[in-house]
Structure 1
């Protein structure tokens, strides 16, 4: 209601259905970027941890074969 009153006071067009659609689009876009900002670092950290684990295990195997 406040939004429609403000738009009327500024003599700007206001369409409730359009505004609701814009709001939902904003919510979905924000949610999508938030998910990406959590998933991408998780994948990168998981790959880094896997490489570190592989490097440690290959190093310990090479040390065992030397002795």
Structure 2
């Protein structure tokens, strides 16, 4: 019988996930401010993997800046 995760451990896991996502958003936003062209190229390269760039109605200007926004943090 598998043991249930204890509440303190579960709380720690959730806190670490939130910390990781927050750190990723802060670093990403900082890089977007310091190196906007490099970050645009990087995000567009990621979009090639999922074929987002092949849809003409789905331009970078509409979705690119939201990658490291507060809404992204709240996923």
TM-score normalised over the length of structure 1 = 0.47
TM-score normalised over the length of structure 2 = 0.42
Larger Rg: 1
Name the one with the larger helix percent. 1
Greater relative contact order, per chain length (Cα 8 Å cut-off, separation 6+): 2
